[in-house]
Structure 1
Amino acid sequence: MSALLKTTRKPKAGPKVPRRAIIVQAICDVIREDWRDGTCPTLLSHEGAIWAALRSGLCLEGMGWHDANKAARDMLHEAFARTGAKRPAWKEGQPEWCDGGVIRDTRTTCANCGKGLEPEQKIYCSKTCFDAHRARLYRADNLEKVRALERIKNERRRASGEREGQSPRSERWKDARDKARTYRD
């Protein structure tokens, strides 16, 4: 009977209060700075990237995925509450929403090159312009996310006492490499 009982290990707790406060403050600093610089249009722009970075970091520290996801969500929501970020209504998040709710049905020029549109064309003058415009937006969006993730990672390292650009894993790798060189020589 006891063999049939599933043994579960106790879930690892999230970051302790002082470290958690440092991480939340780092998140607040990053999202405020990017918003003030005009790098991102809202305080919520990096939500997904920051959530994923926090969750993966906690998982690498030995926390289970569900517990790490919950801890990351809680820290992120705490940071948004501190910064005063308010989630917009659904319709305000749609691409057509502009000018205080006025939806423009008619567009006269291509959104990519500015060339005049034919009556049957709505936003772009060609598939090439559509692809070029979407690729440019994708690159710009990912560049912001990568920069935000790097800043969060560096802040987390500072909070845990590591130097920037150095992790315990890289130190172990260097030690193993040095030992291999010793045996080879």
Structure 2
Amino acid sequence: MKVRHSDLVNAGASKRRLARQERDARRGRLGRRRYGDLVKRLGMVVRIAFEVGCIGSPFGLEGPLRYGIRGDLCRQGWTWTDADLMAREMMDDVFRALRITRPDWNEGQPEWVIEAGTLIERTRCVRCHAPLPEGHHKYCSHLCSTAHWMWLNRRKEASGDVAVMLAIRSI
């Protein structure tokens, strides 16, 4: 059987339509007006807290707000999964309304904000914390350098359960 391009396009459109219908059904349980009001108020809270300096990043309240929304929805009879999805969608809409884009993984790393030419005085290896030998600036050996690079690369490319396990092990 020959698969046509239009069949693939229709299948993709169908998946998007189903996802949109599921999202709208969840929002429908809250009511369109109530949902919009909540997003607007949450946006004001995030904006004011950031402007005043209570949080260092617009994402600083994301966890507590998501936790609070999810808890309230669960107390109203929502399942945990549906409540969590709704809280995530709500926070995504808050950030979208505030025109805040989430930085990628690399931008969240300390090395990203170090300007060119800025030297960091290191006395210990980044990976194993052993004293740095003369002439070494970040790693004590080629082995530590390679192992650390591999570990960072694995974290960057991880997804799903693997990402969770790597995060738990790094604590």
Compute the TM-score of the two structures, normalised by the length of structure 1. Answer: 0.47
Q: Which amino acid aligns with 2:61?
A: H
2:110 paired with 1:68 = no
Match of 1:42 in 2: 57
* CA shift in 2, pair 1:26/1:12, >3 Å: closer
Displacement of 1:104: 4.2
For the residue of structure 2 that corresponds to 1:80, the secondary structure is helix
Displacement of 1:103: 6.5
Percent identical pairs in the alignment equals 29
Cα distance in 2 between the residues matched to 1:101 and 1:55: 43
* CA shift in 2, pair 1:39/1:107, >3 Å: farther
Displacement of 1:105: 2.8
* CA shift in 2, pair 1:106/1:77, >3 Å: same
Cα distance in 2 between the residues matched to 1:12 and 1:99: 42
Cα distance in 1 between the residues matched to 2:117 and 2:87: 37
* CA shift in 2, pair 1:71/1:98, >3 Å: same
Q: Tell me, which stretches of 5 or more residues in structure 2 are unaligned?
A: 1-25, 124-130, 133-171
Residue correspondence of structure 1 range 1-185 to structure 2 within 5 A: 14-100=29-115, 104-106=119-121, 120=131
* CA shift in 2, pair 1:80/1:12, >3 Å: closer
Cα distance in 2 between the residues matched to 1:12 and 1:87: 23
Cα root mean square deviation, aligned:
2.8
Compute the TM-score of the two structures, normalised by the length of structure 2. Answer: 0.51
Match of 2:21 in 1: none
Displacement of 1:65: 0.8
Cα distance in 2 between the residues matched to 1:101 and 1:60: 51
Displacement of 1:96: 4.0
Displacement of 1:80: 0.5
- Compare the two structures and name the one with the higher helix fraction: 2
For the residue of structure 1 that corresponds to 2:87, the secondary structure is helix
Q: Which amino acid aligns with 1:106?
A: E
Displacement of 1:89: 2.1
* CA shift in 2, pair 1:41/1:102, >3 Å: farther
